[in-house]
Structure 1
Amino acid sequence: MAIESGFEIGSIVTNYLIPLGWKLAGAIALWIIGGWAINLIGNLSSRGMTRQKVEPTLIRYVEATLRVIMRIVLVIVILSVFGIETTSFAALIAAAGVAIGVAWSGLLSNFAAGAFLIILRPFKVGDFISGAGITGTVKEIGLFATTIDQPDNVRTTVGNNKLFSDNIVNYTLNPCRRVDLTAQIAHAVDPKQAIELIRTRISQIPNVQKDPAPDVEILEFNAAGTKLVVRPYCHNDHYWQVYFDTNKALAEVGAANGWPIPAPHQVLRQPV
């Protein structure tokens, strides 16, 4: 009986445990070597795209996607080592992917919108934009959200899908931006002379573009006198400096030339 028991144990060890141990050792070796190969391929692809001056966010997209795909392939290979049918496993992954896609539809839509933002490039990091009700400087275009610093130094994170589905205004893309202001002058002030004086003074403001030249024209006539439109052009980085300096320049021109304060005038006529 002892001999038979020893024979059975030896048979189990020889037929089952040793092959299982070799499979387990092979699986561990595959996991270690495969992980090393995945990191190597991921790093090489990242360096290659960096040398080609690809957008940094797109590099992270591609690298992360590549690593996930290779890791799934590695798991399937390891399962095949243990004799598990990989066809059914692949079907299980597909079914799980569908379930996750339904559950995480909002998250995946942000991911897809982020990919389109990188490919279509309506803006880039550092641009001053307005979209999804937020205006500010783009600090990061992430996998699922975009980070924007607003002018009041408040950092806001906006979902890529919400940003991509809204109108996007890029203030930085064009070389200059127009500042829109108005100036009300009294009836006693000659509009033509006022236009020349204001245009000359506006042209002296730092960072105002010479081409196109500032626009100073008559906008309308009202009860207080003549309303002028004043429109200097500048780079977006200097917008607020030019905006405030233009207002100061209008006050300086009026004070230097003794222009009266505009006030509504009404003429009452007595019936004869």
Structure 2
Amino acid sequence: MRHAIIIAAALLIAAPFGAQAQQKQPAQKGPPPPAPARPYTPIAVKLPGPFKDPSFEAFRKQLGEVAAKKDRAGLARLVVAQGFFWDGEKGDQADKKKSGIDNLSAAIGLAGKEPVGWDMLQGYAQDPTAGEYPGKQGVICGPADPELDEKQLEEVSKATGADPGEFVYPLDTSVEVRSAPRANAPVIEKLGTVLIRIMPDPKQAAPASPNEVPLVRVVTPSGKVGYISADVLSALGNDQLCYVKDAGGWKISGYVGAGPGPQ
């Protein structure tokens, strides 16, 4: 499920900003409180469409099957042998002396006690969207980014006091906002394809089981505070898996993002 790879960022969206605040104010304990809930101008979002190539769809199915089995040998056949790139925080972090599968493993975490990379791969395999990657001819990366007015986002961020990173977008054309963090709580509002502000709730209890989809606290454009299921939301600027098509078919050729960190 795609929410497994996208919503961790949404639930912990305030963490980086809290760390910066702690550096400026050493005496402060924990991250600063979020900006108060207030109405904001709706920002329309154009959702990306699927990448139209039947062979790519077949490749994604194969990738999903390999990831579900945690089949490293099978995955290696789906990754370029050489030339893998990893565009991280410090430029290309790929080790050119290592194979593509070794670099992919390091980028998304396929080893260690909790190899989250396999779940990430299943999420990428289920996402049909992809777009051209600037500067690399023939390379596409997914999930594709939505289209929106970034200047308008900056203006809304200033008006609300919220960081731009607190805004996410829905994966569907209609999402339900509930009054409490329960799947059966009353619906208080329905939203279309507009940016939605995440408002982390440190007191919110974690899901009762790993298979339960969490609900995320949000502030709607009307200023209402409610909860939306995490599996219908996506953070802006997601990490991306990249692909290239050669004579032998599609291959994973790179990764864009910081990765899950040390395992």
Question: Which one scores higher on RCO, CA 8 angstroms, separation ≥ 6?
Answer: 2
- Scaled by the length of structure 1, what TM-score is found? 0.17
More helix by share: 1
